[in-house]
Protein backbone atom coordinates (compact mmCIF):
# COMPACT_ATOMS: atom_id res chain seq x y z
CA UNK A 1 0.00 0.00 0.00
CA UNK A 2 2.96 2.30 -0.38
CA UNK A 3 1.16 3.87 -3.35
CA UNK A 4 -1.71 4.93 -1.17
CA UNK A 5 0.72 6.18 1.43
CA UNK A 6 2.65 8.32 -1.02
CA UNK A 7 -0.48 9.68 -2.58
CA UNK A 8 -2.17 10.51 0.72
CA UNK A 9 0.88 12.29 2.04
CA UNK A 10 1.19 14.26 -1.16
CA UNK A 11 -2.53 15.10 -1.13
CA UNK A 12 -2.10 16.44 2.38
CA UNK A 13 0.93 18.50 1.43
CA UNK A 14 -0.93 19.89 -1.58
CA UNK A 15 -3.99 20.60 0.55
CA UNK A 16 -1.94 22.54 3.05
CA UNK A 17 0.02 24.10 0.20
CA UNK A 18 0.58 27.77 0.48
CA UNK A 19 -2.12 28.15 3.07
CA UNK A 20 -0.40 26.09 5.74
CA UNK A 21 -1.59 27.51 9.02
CA UNK A 22 1.22 28.74 11.22
CA UNK A 23 1.86 26.14 13.91
CA UNK A 24 0.93 28.37 16.82
CA UNK A 25 2.06 27.47 20.32
CA UNK A 26 -0.61 25.64 22.30
CA UNK A 27 -1.91 27.69 25.23
CA UNK A 28 -1.95 25.51 28.33
CA UNK A 29 -3.66 27.75 30.83
CA UNK A 30 -5.71 24.89 32.21
CA UNK A 31 -4.86 23.41 35.59
CA UNK A 32 -1.87 21.12 35.37
CA UNK A 33 -2.27 20.06 38.99
CA UNK A 34 -4.79 20.38 41.76
CA UNK A 35 -4.37 22.40 44.93
CA UNK A 36 -4.20 19.30 47.13
CA UNK A 37 -1.34 16.84 47.48
CA UNK A 38 -1.58 13.25 46.34
CA UNK A 39 -3.08 11.11 49.07
CA UNK A 40 -4.26 14.08 51.15
CA UNK A 41 -7.53 13.84 53.06
CA UNK A 42 -9.19 16.30 50.67
CA UNK A 43 -8.24 14.31 47.62
CA UNK A 44 -9.35 11.02 49.15
CA UNK A 45 -12.68 12.46 50.12
CA UNK A 46 -13.34 13.57 46.55
CA UNK A 47 -12.35 10.19 45.14
CA UNK A 48 -14.65 8.33 47.51
CA UNK A 49 -17.50 10.68 46.67
CA UNK A 50 -17.09 10.05 42.94
CA UNK A 51 -16.73 6.29 43.27
CA UNK A 52 -19.85 6.06 45.39
CA UNK A 53 -21.63 8.17 42.81
CA UNK A 54 -20.62 5.64 40.16
CA UNK A 55 -22.05 2.80 42.26
CA UNK A 56 -18.67 1.36 43.18
CA UNK A 57 -18.25 -0.04 46.70
CA UNK A 58 -15.53 1.74 48.63
CA UNK A 59 -13.72 0.25 51.61
CA UNK A 60 -11.19 2.24 53.60
CA UNK A 61 -8.74 0.01 55.40
CA UNK A 62 -5.24 -0.09 56.80
CA UNK A 63 -2.71 -2.35 55.17
CA UNK A 64 -2.98 -4.68 58.16
CA UNK A 65 -6.72 -5.06 57.69
CA UNK A 66 -6.64 -5.58 53.95
CA UNK A 67 -6.36 -9.41 54.02
CA UNK A 68 -9.41 -9.61 56.23
CA UNK A 69 -11.38 -7.34 53.94
CA UNK A 70 -10.41 -9.34 50.87
CA UNK A 71 -11.38 -12.54 52.66
CA UNK A 72 -14.81 -11.11 53.35
CA UNK A 73 -15.30 -9.73 49.87
CA UNK A 74 -14.24 -12.92 48.15
CA UNK A 75 -15.80 -15.46 50.48
CA UNK A 76 -18.26 -17.81 48.82
CA UNK A 77 -21.70 -17.07 50.06
CA UNK A 78 -25.27 -16.28 49.22
CA UNK A 79 -25.68 -13.70 46.52
CA UNK A 80 -23.33 -12.63 43.80
CA UNK A 81 -22.26 -9.54 45.65
CA UNK A 82 -19.56 -10.17 48.20
CA UNK A 83 -20.10 -6.62 49.46
CA UNK A 84 -23.04 -7.99 51.35
CA UNK A 85 -20.72 -9.65 53.84
CA UNK A 86 -18.67 -6.54 54.38
CA UNK A 87 -21.27 -4.76 56.43
CA UNK A 88 -20.08 -1.60 58.09
CA UNK A 89 -17.23 -1.08 55.70
CA UNK A 90 -19.22 -0.33 52.64
CA UNK A 91 -19.14 3.37 52.13
CA UNK A 92 -20.62 3.11 48.68
CA UNK A 93 -24.23 2.52 47.91
CA UNK A 94 -25.09 -1.12 47.77
CA UNK A 95 -28.75 -0.62 47.03
CA UNK A 96 -28.37 -1.09 43.30
CA UNK A 97 -26.72 -4.44 43.48
CA UNK A 98 -25.86 -6.29 40.37
CA UNK A 99 -27.23 -9.46 41.92
CA UNK A 100 -30.68 -7.99 41.49
CA UNK A 101 -30.25 -7.86 37.79
CA UNK A 102 -28.88 -11.26 37.03
CA UNK A 103 -30.83 -12.84 34.23
CA UNK A 104 -33.00 -15.73 35.33
CA UNK A 105 -30.93 -18.84 35.83
CA UNK A 106 -27.76 -17.18 37.06
CA UNK A 107 -28.82 -17.12 40.71
CA UNK A 108 -28.23 -20.83 41.07
CA UNK A 109 -24.60 -20.38 40.15
CA UNK A 110 -23.72 -18.10 42.97
CA UNK A 111 -24.75 -20.18 45.94
CA UNK A 112 -21.67 -22.36 45.67
CA UNK A 113 -19.58 -23.50 48.57
CA UNK A 114 -16.38 -22.50 46.85
CA UNK A 115 -15.66 -19.42 44.83
CA UNK A 116 -12.79 -18.61 42.52
CA UNK A 117 -10.63 -15.58 42.10
CA UNK A 118 -8.01 -14.75 39.50
CA UNK A 119 -4.95 -12.73 40.49
CA UNK A 120 -2.04 -11.25 38.54
CA UNK A 121 1.41 -12.79 39.04
CA UNK A 122 2.83 -9.87 41.00
CA UNK A 123 0.09 -9.57 43.59
CA UNK A 124 1.27 -9.17 47.16
CA UNK A 125 0.87 -12.69 48.62
CA UNK A 126 0.02 -11.33 52.07
CA UNK A 127 -3.17 -9.80 50.69
CA UNK A 128 -4.56 -13.25 50.04
CA UNK A 129 -3.52 -14.76 53.35
CA UNK A 130 -7.02 -14.73 54.81
CA UNK A 131 -8.86 -16.44 51.97
CA UNK A 132 -10.79 -19.58 52.82
CA UNK A 133 -12.74 -21.79 50.44
CA UNK A 134 -11.56 -19.66 47.56
CA UNK A 135 -9.76 -21.13 44.61
CA UNK A 136 -6.97 -18.74 43.63
CA UNK A 137 -5.89 -18.82 39.98
CA UNK A 138 -2.78 -16.94 38.91
CA UNK A 139 -2.81 -15.50 35.42
CA UNK A 140 0.24 -14.11 33.69
CA UNK A 141 1.40 -13.07 30.23
CA UNK A 142 3.46 -16.26 30.09
CA UNK A 143 0.70 -18.54 31.37
CA UNK A 144 -2.61 -16.85 30.59
CA UNK A 145 -6.01 -18.30 31.36
CA UNK A 146 -8.32 -18.51 28.36
CA UNK A 147 -11.19 -16.06 28.05
CA UNK A 148 -13.58 -18.91 28.72
CA UNK A 149 -11.71 -19.84 31.90
CA UNK A 150 -11.84 -16.24 33.03
CA UNK A 151 -15.55 -16.21 32.28
CA UNK A 152 -15.92 -19.09 34.72
CA UNK A 153 -14.07 -17.22 37.46
CA UNK A 154 -16.05 -15.27 40.04
CA UNK A 155 -13.76 -12.38 40.82
CA UNK A 156 -10.44 -10.69 40.22
CA UNK A 157 -8.13 -8.83 42.57
CA UNK A 158 -5.66 -6.29 41.19
CA UNK A 159 -3.58 -3.38 42.35
CA UNK A 160 -3.67 -0.09 40.43
CA UNK A 161 -1.22 2.37 38.91
CA UNK A 162 -2.84 5.70 39.80
CA UNK A 163 -6.24 7.12 40.68
CA UNK A 164 -7.73 10.51 39.79
CA UNK A 165 -9.92 11.98 42.51
CA UNK A 166 -11.80 14.61 40.51
CA UNK A 167 -12.99 12.18 37.89
CA UNK A 168 -13.27 9.11 40.12
CA UNK A 169 -10.92 7.22 37.85
CA UNK A 170 -8.64 4.28 38.55
CA UNK A 171 -5.96 3.50 35.99
CA UNK A 172 -4.46 0.04 35.50
CA UNK A 173 -1.27 -0.24 33.45
CA UNK A 174 -0.78 -3.98 33.05
CA UNK A 175 2.25 -4.29 35.30
CA UNK A 176 2.65 -7.57 37.23
CA UNK A 177 0.56 -6.43 40.20
CA UNK A 178 -2.31 -5.56 37.85
CA UNK A 179 -2.03 -8.19 35.19
CA UNK A 180 -3.31 -8.65 31.70
CA UNK A 181 -6.20 -6.47 30.61
CA UNK A 182 -8.47 -9.49 30.23
CA UNK A 183 -8.39 -10.48 33.90
CA UNK A 184 -9.89 -7.23 35.12
CA UNK A 185 -12.50 -7.36 32.38
CA UNK A 186 -14.12 -10.77 32.20
CA UNK A 187 -14.89 -11.80 35.83
CA UNK A 188 -18.04 -10.26 37.25
CA UNK A 189 -16.49 -8.81 40.40
CA UNK A 190 -13.39 -6.61 40.40
CA UNK A 191 -11.69 -5.85 43.69
CA UNK A 192 -9.15 -3.12 43.08
CA UNK A 193 -6.63 -2.24 45.74
CA UNK A 194 -5.54 1.39 45.62
CA UNK A 195 -2.96 2.87 47.99
CA UNK A 196 -3.95 6.30 49.22
CA UNK A 197 -0.64 7.76 48.07
CA UNK A 198 -1.56 6.75 44.52
CA UNK A 199 -4.51 9.11 44.46
CA UNK A 200 -3.88 12.40 42.65
CA UNK A 201 -6.36 15.21 42.25
CA UNK A 202 -6.44 15.92 38.52
CA UNK A 203 -6.20 14.23 35.15
CA UNK A 204 -2.99 16.05 34.10
CA UNK A 205 -1.20 14.79 37.22
CA UNK A 206 -2.09 11.23 36.29
CA UNK A 207 -1.11 11.65 32.65
CA UNK A 208 2.26 13.04 33.72
CA UNK A 209 2.86 9.91 35.75
CA UNK A 210 1.73 7.56 33.00
CA UNK A 211 3.81 9.43 30.43
CA UNK A 212 6.90 7.85 32.01
CA UNK A 213 5.90 4.52 30.39
CA UNK A 214 3.63 5.47 27.51
CA UNK A 215 3.81 2.04 25.86
CA UNK A 216 1.94 0.22 28.61
CA UNK A 217 -1.61 -0.86 27.88
CA UNK A 218 -3.94 1.24 30.00
CA UNK A 219 -7.44 0.79 31.28
CA UNK A 220 -9.07 3.86 32.81
CA UNK A 221 -12.00 2.79 34.95
CA UNK A 222 -14.56 5.28 36.24
CA UNK A 223 -17.18 3.10 37.84
CA UNK A 224 -18.86 0.05 36.35
CA UNK A 225 -19.85 0.33 32.69
CA UNK A 226 -23.14 1.90 31.75
CA UNK A 227 -25.49 2.59 28.91
CA UNK A 228 -28.27 5.06 28.35
CA UNK A 229 -29.22 3.69 25.00
CA UNK A 230 -32.68 2.47 25.85
CA UNK A 231 -34.91 5.50 26.17
CA UNK A 232 -31.99 7.28 27.82
CA UNK A 233 -32.59 5.24 30.97
CA UNK A 234 -29.27 4.57 32.66
CA UNK A 235 -28.34 0.92 33.18
CA UNK A 236 -25.11 0.02 34.97
CA UNK A 237 -22.94 -3.01 34.33
CA UNK A 238 -23.42 -3.69 30.64
CA UNK A 239 -20.11 -5.43 29.98
CA UNK A 240 -17.17 -5.97 32.23
CA UNK A 241 -17.42 -6.46 36.00
CA UNK A 242 -20.85 -5.51 37.27
CA UNK A 243 -19.51 -5.04 40.77
CA UNK A 244 -16.48 -2.86 41.46
CA UNK A 245 -14.96 -2.87 44.94
CA UNK A 246 -12.27 -0.34 45.68
CA UNK A 247 -10.10 -1.04 48.70
CA UNK A 248 -8.47 2.23 49.61
CA UNK A 249 -5.46 1.31 51.70
CA UNK A 250 -3.68 3.80 53.94
Partner 1 sequence: MPDWEALRDAGSAIKADVLARLPELLEELERNVSARGGVVHWARDAAEANRIVADLVRAKETDEVVKVKSMATQEIGLNEALAEEGIAAVETDLAELIVQLADDMPSHILVPAIHRNRTEIRDIFLERMGDAPPDLTDVPRELAMAARAHLRRKFLSAKVAISGANFAVADTGTLAVVESEGNGRMCLTLPETLITVMGIEKLVPTYRDLEVFLQLLPRSSTGERMNPYTSMWTGVTPGDGPQEFHLVLLDNGRTKVLADEAGRSALHCIRCSACLNVCPVYERVGGHTYGSVYPGPIGAILTPQLTGEKSDLPYASTLCGACYEVCPVKIDIPSILVELRAREVELGGASPDTADRVWKAAMKAASFAMADGARFRRAARLPRVLRAISRHGVIRRLPFPGSLWTRSRDLPEPPKQTFHDWWAGREDER
Q: Which is nearer to partner 1, 83 or 223 (CB)?
A: 223
Q: Which is nearer to partner 1, 37 or 182 (CB)?
A: 182
**Separation of alpha carbons 124 and 177, rounded Å:** 8
How near is the Cβ of 243 to partner 1 at its closest, in Å?
Answer: 13
Residue 240's region, left for phi above 0, alpha for psi from -120 to 50, else beta, is left
Q: Which is nearer to partner 1, 87 or 231 (CB)?
A: 231
Write the DSSP assignment of 7-69 as a string of letters. HHHHHHHHHHGGGPPP-PPPP--S-SS-SS-TT-HHHHHHHHHHHHHTT-EEEEE-GGGHHHH
How near is the Cβ of 244 to partner 1 at its closest, in Å?
Answer: 10
Length of the chain: 250
How near is the Cβ of 160 to partner 1 at its closest, in Å?
Answer: 14
Q: Which is nearer to partner 1, 77 or 204 (CB)?
A: 204
How near is the Cβ of 250 to partner 1 at its closest, in Å?
Answer: 24
**Separation of alpha carbons 101 and 91, rounded Å:** 21
Amino acid sequence: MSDARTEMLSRIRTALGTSTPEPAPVPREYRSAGEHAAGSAEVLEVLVDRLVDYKAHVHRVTAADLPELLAELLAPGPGADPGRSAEGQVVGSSSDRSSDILPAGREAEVARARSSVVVPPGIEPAWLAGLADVEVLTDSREAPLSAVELDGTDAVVTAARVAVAETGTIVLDGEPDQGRRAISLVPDVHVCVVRTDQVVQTVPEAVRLLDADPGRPLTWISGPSATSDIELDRVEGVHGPRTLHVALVS
